[in-house]
Amino acid sequence: MKSQSIWSRALKISRKAVNCGAVIPLNTIKYKSSEECCDFELRFLKSPIPKYLIEYGPKRNPFIPWDSRLEIQPINDKHTLILNKYPVQIGHMLLITNTWKPQNGWLNKDDFEAIQNVDSDTTGLWFFNSSKEAGASQPHRHFQLLPRRYNESICPRFDWFCSLLNNTKGNNSEISHCISIRQRSKNKKSSEYDLFSSYKSMIDEMNLGDIDIINKPLKPYNLLITSEWIALITRRTDKSNGFSINALGFAGYFLGTKRSDVDTLIKFGPEKILKDVI
């Protein structure tokens, strides 16, 4: 059982940050499906769309310097853990690089070591959006974490991704050809199947380019990381049927607005929306 001391600290800081206006939780209404088997969760924004959801690359980099009211703790000499100013849930964290690193550049061993550092204490659903076309709102490198308690559902499509590992749904899916997935090693001392090795292996499998030769991947992509697996999803655009789709869309989380074709999502399910962005 992990101590989750980082999550506890994040919640404590979140309460202060909300009170002083440094954190602005999204005001949403959750859609409750009448279907018994439903692998997506839909939320509607009650207030106008925050600018960060529709604008990319603000004039001022919000991470240099980052808002000290959002800081949770340094992770190493190259990364810091802070709160997301517009959280999907209270305790929604960002792992940012202390100095400028491009969101659309190759990830490196230091990035994944920082993730593993946090993950050894507090885990959940990690996600990464490689560029604007992959749903990123900021060009400065950042990873996001939605913490989860022990035995709590990681995300609506967790079992679906697990089935890809076992090749039980791949042939029936319209999007599995754009997904590479690796099982995470349970051996902390193992290096053969660590996150960075898995990342490089998936890059090769999905033909994103040679990490040692070119400066950045040839295609936009998302990463999803859980305690069981890491998945890479290649894609071409960020919008489908009025939905802005980032990595959370592939995890089964959709944020609806007045422009979203909710009827299509409910009638045909998430893959109808997702296949239009890959």
pLDDT tens digits for 205-258?
A: 999 999 999 999 999 999 999 999 999 999 999 999 999 999 999 999 999 888
pLDDT on residue 257: 86
Closest by CA position to 115, among listed 89, 76, 149, 163:
76
Percent of the chain with pLDDT over 90: 76
pLDDT at 52 over 70: no
pTM above 0.85, yes or no: yes
CB atoms within 10 A of CB 83: 25
Q: Please, which pLDDT band fits residue 87 given cuts at 50, 70 and 90?
A: very high
CA dihedral 141, 145, 146, 147 (to 10 degrees): -160
Question: Lowest mean pLDDT: which of 42-46, 165-169, 209-213, 272-276?
Answer: 165-169
pLDDT at 156 over 90: yes
Closest by CA position to 88, among listed 263, 268, 251:
251
Contact 218, 209 (CB under 8 A): yes
Give the residue with greater pLDDT, 243 vs 170: 243
CB atoms within 10 A of CB 30: 8
Q: What is the DSSP letter of 193?
A: T
pLDDT on residue 190: 56
Instruction: Return the CATH fold of 5-274.
Output: HIT family, subunit A (3.30.428)
For the chain, give the mean pLDDT: 90
Q: Please, which pLDDT band fits residue 192 given cuts at 50, 70 and 90?
A: very low
User: CA 194 to CA 187: how far, in whole Å?
Assistant: 9
pLDDT at 177 over 80: yes
| pLDDT tens per residue, range 89-123 | 999 999 999 999 999 999 999 999 999 999 999 99
Contact 217, 203 (CB under 8 A): yes
Give the residue with greater pLDDT, 252 vs 58: 252
